[in-house]
Structure 1
Amino acid sequence: MIKNIVFDIGKVLVRFDWEDYLASFQFPEEETTAIAKAMFLSSNWNLVDEGRLSYEEIEQIFVDSCPAYADDIRLVFAHFGDCITRFPYTRHWISSLKQQGYQVYYLSNYGDFTCQYTRNDLDFCDLMDGGVMSYEVKCLKPDPVIYQSLFEKYHLKPEECVFIDDNAANIDAAKKLGMKTILFQDYFKAQKQLNVMCNK
């Protein structure tokens, strides 16, 4: 029996549109490509969500990987929260699930200063029953540790949970732990899959 719906946040409940954000600076194409590789497309971006390093330490790592554009990297990083905005359907979706009697949680790779910068767009968290962000446990999906932290914090049974995430590796990890899963592609498909799964 499904009792709990667990959501990823990025690209499921909020947009993470770094491409348009970076393009808005109108840097030359060569510079835009270099900054993208140094920041958003780099494995170092995981450091933002992991929560082990300070803002200044991560900024310096980005700068060191592309020193030719140091000032612009600092500028882009200073305002990167602007690329995150809540989807129009998010609050309604959560409220509807709550009204149907489900407990609703989040489980997301999300950094501490990202959380601070996007507090207004995370207003839907107040509608939820709780959750875990990666910076709180210093661990990223798909590591089983972050899933277990959610189960233990809220006394959840994996087999009673549906996990909705846009990342296939995160979905696979959830399945191995016993959760039912939906690989998110868009709101309407996910809602339909969830209704079928819950026999609605």
Structure 2
Amino acid sequence: MFLINNHELFDSIDKFVMHHKFTNMLKNLDGIRNIIFDFGGVIIDLDFSRTEKAFKKLSIPDFKGKMNQAVEGELFMDFEKGLISPNDFRNKLRYLAERNISDKEIDDAWNQLILDIPEKRINLLLKLREKYQLFLLSNSNIIHYEFYTNNLKKRHGFNSLDDLFDKTFFSFNLKMYKPGPEIYKTVIDKAGIKSEESLFIDDNVINLEGAQKLGIKTLHSPQDVEISEQLLDLI
């Protein structure tokens, strides 16, 4: 008689059910020629708690209160829309922190949330490019962009994300931000593709709704679900 670990059994059942669910979903993607990926939480792993811990180590008083002020004042959104420069961003953080934190300390703490792109996701993109045009659409900022671009070269040997996608689009360059419908229209126009032939994948349901308004098909990819398993049947 074999003893079965219940956790392993339930995990296997969950994976089977999830794969069956996404297989049925992907059956409705006939005519798809283009796949538009979100970046953070879909392609690259993130851990926001690391940045919170890093800023706390800088002895910022009432850190959560300061971050709430930054959110309410749209500091992060303005930075990711490219409406303020990195120096303006750092200066505003210094003002909120009430401490003379160096540029390096700010950048190091800010970049802590960015982890890595697992090799299996890079392999997924390379295989998908044999059948589809691939695009990247990310709400991001120049400090993070420079950090993960440098890591991509050091860890994986690619000069930039343009080596993995046919075209990349970032909010800080477009001066637009998901889920505004205008950012999806801009991507469709600049990429020279059709909405009805395109699939947009994001970990944020609200962002999917913005794309759906333009007739783009969508797929939700929550951070606890592996995208390379979701898209297994498209390879």
Are 1:181 and 2:218 counterparts?
yes
Mapping for residues 96-175 of structure 1, pairs under 5 Å: 96-99=127-130, 101-122=131-152, 123=158, 124-175=161-212
Is the alpha carbon distance of 1:188 and 1:113 closer, same or farther for their aligned partners in structure 2, counting shifts above 3 Å? closer
Q: What code does the residue aligned with 1:14 have?
A: I
For the Cα contact (< 8 Å) 1:4–1:161, is it kept in 2? yes
Please provide the CA RMSD for this pair: 2.8
Q: Deviations over 1:106-148 (max 9, x none)?
A: 0111112321222134544412101211111111011122111
Change (3 A) 1:42 1:20: farther
CA distance in 2, matches of 1:191, 1:64: 42
Say whether 1:3 aligns with 2:55.
no
2:51 equivalent to 1:21: yes
SS of the equivalent of 1:128 reads coil
Task: Output the CA distance in 2 between the equivalents of 1:52 and 1:184.
Answer: 29
State how 1:19-98 maps to structure 2 within 5 Å: 19-24=49-54, 27=57, 31-39=62-70, 43-67=74-98, 70-72=99-101, 76-79=105-108, 80-88=110-118, 89-98=120-129
Instruction: State the secondary structure of the residue aligned to 1:106.
Output: strand
Do the aligned partners of residues 86 and 125 (structure 1) sit closer, same or farther apart at CA in structure 2, a change above 3 Å counting? farther
Q: 1:113 to 1:50 in 2, by over 3 A?
A: same
Runs of 5+ unmatched residues, structure 1 = none
Equivalent position SS for 2:45: strand
Letter in 2 for 1:71: N
Moved over 6 A (4+): none
CA distance in 1, matches of 2:78, 2:211: 22
Note the residue ranges of structure 2 that are not aligned, 5 or more in a row. Answer: 1-30, 153-157
- Between stretches 11-20 and 132-141, larger displacement belongs to 11-20
Q: 1:41 to 1:82 in 2, by over 3 A?
A: farther
Identical amino acids, percent of aligned pairs: 25
Distance in 2 separating the partners of 1:102 and 1:187: 25
Relative to its length, the structure with more strand (as a share) is 1
Once the two structures are superposed, what CA deviation does each residue of 1:160-181 show, in whole Å capped at 9, x if it has no partner? 1110111111100111111111
Aligned residues: 195
TM-score (norm: length of structure 2): 0.71
Assess, with a 3 A threshold, how the Cα gap between structure 1 residues 135 and 96 changes in structure 2: closer, same or farther. Answer: same
The more displaced of 28-37 and 131-140 is 28-37
| CA deviation string 1:73-99 (max 9, x = no partner) | 866522222321223132112012113
Q: Mean alpha-carbon deviation: is it higher for 118-127 or for 37-46?
A: 37-46
TM-score where L is the length of structure 1 = 0.82
